Amino acid sequence: MLLQILVNGISLGSIYALTAIGYSLIYSILQLINMSNAAVFLTSAVIFYALYTSLTGSSVLLTFILTLMAAGAIGYVIEVIAIRPIREKGDSNTYALISSIGVKTILEQICQGTFGSEIKQFPTLLDGKYIDLFGARTSAIQIIIILTTLFILGFMSWFTQNNRVGRGLRALSQNLNACHLMGMPVNTLIGVSFAVGSMLAAVSGVAYCMYLKSISISVGSAIGNKAFAATVLGGIGELKGAVVGGYILAIAESFVSGYYSMAASNFISFGILILVLIIRPTGIFGKKEQKKV
Amino acid sequence: MLQVNDLHTYYGNIKALRGVSFHVEKGEILSFIGANGAGKSTLMNTLSGTLKPKAGQILFEGEDITKLSPRDRVKKGIILAPEGRQIFPKFTVEENLLMGAYTVNDKELNKRNYEKVFELFPQIKDRQKQIAGTLSGGEQQMLAIGRALMSDPKILMLDEPSLGLSPILVEQIFDLINEINNQGTTILLVEQNAMAALEISDRAYALETGEITIEGTGKELLHNDLIRKSYLGG
């Protein structure tokens, strides 16, 4: 039972973590909570569904790759259209936040308009296959989600440490002005950060719907809110915080729904969020801003 | 090399530059001295492109660069090592230098500049893998200058490189600026520490509430009565 709950928590945590990285990455650079992230989660799942049922039904992998590319493009375009003009005018981040809420609403409306509001069956992988993991009955899709997430986290770590663009993103989060002064392509890099966040949300969205074997237009805000809570729990602006926060939150939820009730698990995650905000508003890894003069 | 005509820049609602005109000759060290709030940093930020002027013109090697982005200016060879150093505190020394080379695609050139920086600043050579935020103030200043040099600039602009440093370190930094200049980089320097700046400068301007009030060679300004009274403490 214990192990079973843990495995469930880790696979759900993987889904939270991937979306949470997107929130944290953009916050680390612009101090902006990009509310459109949750809608990209949903939109990507809808795109996957639409592609799979109409065009690429034979290949999950091809569908997945096309969905990722679409999500990356959507993220980049969101930045260019809805965020950049506000940034460049030097307006307050509150305007950018509201703009991102606008984007979220528009994307959700488009999804609702094209997809409809009913629950539909979502394609999954290795349906009905289970693996016995030290007594925990683990579905194949759970294993796939966990392994894929580990691979992506490893890739992100390499990308931000050793890749020129990835390192550039970390530089942006430390001192945007210095990045301008060093002649870095700041706008392009910020666009890339939105693309990366969106692609992670896409992986997360598709994975979640595969896990549920179903899709409805409410999945975005449900998971988006949890992922945001995870981001705050880990310390917003810290990528590893987003990951740790995602796993802690999901494992806690998993325990509550395992030992107590499913309905109480939501109560727990947002309860944790409020507690963190009261006791340690910077989250687990977040630090108070310190600047050396 | 650099020609600035009648530059007006606002900083918020404050008119920080009121028609500044000057030129920089190739190979020289040119200084702007002035008190806090005289407009020195505004001038640097306007030249680097992070502040947009209301009016005026900046010509670099005969070309109008007034409307160019900071990135395009760095590519042309103008870079600013800003006030307060603004290094990337969580990056290692090495990563900081790599960020300075973001506009340079020539790997060989990058390697040469990387070695050149450590020849100039052997103190930070042993600290390549150290997190920059843990360096001392003097080392951070060296890193900030080194990072700017990685862009292979024609003009290196320095905003208050002596800020917050001990007198011995100030002297060391100014010797190094002289050395960078001897190796062929034109220097545009902005300083509150007028004495140190004027001693190494070929020419200098005094900036007061956004206007140039006095100009001359470094020596002339060192011996100018007004300058002595206002900036050199009698």
Residues 6+ apart with CB under 8 A from B25: B1, B186, B202, B203
Q: What are the Cα distances from residue A155, in Å, to A149, A160, B170?
A: 10, 9, 44
Q: pLDDT digit string (tens) for A221-240?
A: 889 999 999 999 999 988 99
Residues A94-107 have a mean pLDDT of: 96
pLDDT at residue A290 in the model? 53
pLDDT at residue B205 in the model? 96
Contacts of B83 in chain A (CB under 8 A): none
Q: pLDDT digit string (tens) for A186-216?
A: 999 999 999 999 999 999 999 999 999 999 9
CB A181 within 8 A of CB B46: no
What is the sign of the dihedral through the CA atoms of B108, B110, B114 and B120?
A: positive
pLDDT at residue A269 in the model? 83
Statement: residue A272 has pLDDT above 90: no
pLDDT at residue A130 in the model? 87
Which of B49, B71, B87 is facing A184, going by the closest CB pair?
B71
Q: How many domains does chain B have?
A: 1
Contacts of A168 in chain B (CB under 8 A): 99, 102
Is A239 part of the contact surface with chain B (CB cutoff 8 Å)?
Answer: no
Domain with residue B173: its CATH number is 3.40.50.300
Between residues B98 and A268, which one has the greater pLDDT? B98
Contacts of A165 in chain B (CB under 8 A): none
Q: How far, in Å, CA of B201 to CA of B216, rounded?
A: 10
Nearest CA among A253, A286, A204 for reference residue A22: A204
In this predicted complex, what is the ipTM? 0.94
**Cβ–Cβ gap A293/B84 under 8 Å:** yes
Which of B75, B133, B140 is facing A183, going by the closest CB pair?
B75
Statement: residue A287 has pLDDT above 80: no
Residues A49-65 have a mean pLDDT of: 89
pLDDT at residue B19 in the model? 95
Residue with the two structure tokens 């507690």: A275
Contacts of B89 in chain A (CB under 8 A): 174-175, 292
**Cβ–Cβ gap A182/B90 under 8 Å:** no
Statement: residue A292 has pLDDT above 50: no
User: In tens digits, what is the pLDDT along chain B, a chain of 234 residues?
Assistant: 999 999 999 988 889 999 999 999 999 999 999 988 899 999 999 999 999 999 999 999 999 999 999 999 999 999 999 999 999 999 999 999 999 999 999 999 999 999 999 999 999 999 999 999 999 999 999 999 999 999 999 999 999 999 999 999 999 999 999 999 999 999 999 999 999 999 999 999 999 999 999 999 999 999 998 888 888 776
Total beta-carbon pairs less than 8 A apart between chain A and chain B: 73
Range of the domain at B163: 2-231
CA B219, B220, B226: angle at the middle one, nearest 5?
Answer: 125
Is B102 part of the contact surface with chain A (CB cutoff 8 Å)?
Answer: yes
Contacts of A287 in chain B (CB under 8 A): none
Residues A78-105 have a mean pLDDT of: 93
**Cβ–Cβ gap A182/B87 under 8 Å:** no
Share of chain A above pLDDT 90, in %: 73
**Cβ–Cβ gap B50/A181 under 8 Å:** yes
Q: Which two tokens stand for residue A133?
A: 């993991």
DSSP B87-150: --TTSBHHHHHHHHTTT---HHHHHHHHHHHHHH-HHHHTTTTSBGGGS-HHHHHHHHHHHHHT
**Cβ–Cβ gap B90/A184 under 8 Å:** no
pLDDT at residue B234 in the model? 62
Contacts of A177 in chain B (CB under 8 A): 50, 82, 86
Domain boundary assignment for chain A: 17-226
In terms of CA atoms, which chain A residue is nearest residue B105?
A: A164
Q: How far, in Å, CA of B39 to CA of B10, rounded?
A: 10
Q: Which two tokens stand for residue A78?
A: 């969101």
**Cβ–Cβ gap B102/A170 under 8 Å:** no
C-alpha B156: how far from its chain's center? 5
pLDDT at residue A266 in the model? 82
pLDDT at residue A268 in the model? 84
Residues A116-132 have a mean pLDDT of: 88
Q: pLDDT digit string (tens) for A147-173?
A: 999 999 999 999 999 999 999 999 999
How are strands ordered across the β-sheet holding B63-64?
Answer: B14-24, B2-11, B55-60, B63-64
Which of B84, B89, B102 is facing A182, going by the closest CB pair?
B102
CB B116 within 8 A of CB B180: no
Q: How far, in Å, CA of B228 to CA of B225, rounded?
A: 5
Q: How confident is the model at residue A288 (pLDDT cuts 50, 70, 90)?
A: low
Residues 6+ apart with CB under 8 A from B110: B101, B104, B150
Is B75 part of the contact surface with chain A (CB cutoff 8 Å)?
Answer: yes
Judging by DSSP bridges, how do beta strands A214-215 and A130-133 pair with one another? unpaired
**Cβ–Cβ gap A168/B99 under 8 Å:** yes
Statement: residue A291 has pLDDT above 60: no
